Amino acid sequence: MGAKIYNSDLTKNLVDGARLMTGSEIVPSELAEKVIPVLDVTPDFHRIANIIVSGACSNVTSVTIYTTPVDRDFYLCSAQLSMIKDVNSTSTYSYLGCTPENGLGCELIYLSELTGTVQIVNLAQNYSTPIKLKRGSDVNLGHSTNVANIVSRAVITGYTI
């Protein structure tokens, strides 16, 4: 005979997680002898994006918009990059870069623009599987233009554990 389940939160998580149809399926009220329960010790509230940061820069500059903690893991949930440039900007690009857990820096979002046009570009990405960034690494926004004016802005969301 298995152990009885008396925790209503556990029962609710079981129903929700297994997507049981409570009207037509029996909700387990005890654990079988051969079932090994696994308790997730990381509460759900740690998996909610609770860090939202942004930064902006203009012309040939770059800026660090966030530095991941050295004592906790940071998971990137979403990133957005916006850029506005005038008609005279040439050889123009904007990027949002970071360093994933593997230590190899990368550009998450890279926007290159057309010469001779006024442009407003925006790109947003949501990561269904959050990206774990290297501890103590920077998330950078940067861009370049040979002539004239450009302004970029980036926003990231994530959480730490």
Tens digit of pLDDT for each residue in 9-68? 777 777 777 777 777 777 777 766 666 667 666 655 556 788 899 999 888 788 999 999
Q: Is-above-0.75 flag for pTM?
A: no
For the stretch 137-150, pLDDT in tens is 999 999 887 777 88
- Looking at the predicted structure, is the pLDDT value of residue 114 above 80? no
DSSP state of 131: E
Phi/psi of residue 27, nearest 5 degrees: -85, 125
Distance, in Å, from the CA atom of 54 to the CA atom of 157, rounded to the nearest integer, reads: 9
* CB 60, CB 150: distance < 8 Å: no
Residue among 126, 17, 13 nearest 75 (CA): 126
Q: Where are the domains of the chain?
A: 1-39, 45-160
126, 41 in Cβ contact below 8 A? no
- What is the second-level CATH architecture of the domain 45-160? Sandwich (2.60)
**139 in Cβ contact with 78 (< 8 Å):** no
- Write the CA distances from 23 to 11, 20, 27, 34, integer angstroms: 15, 9, 10, 26
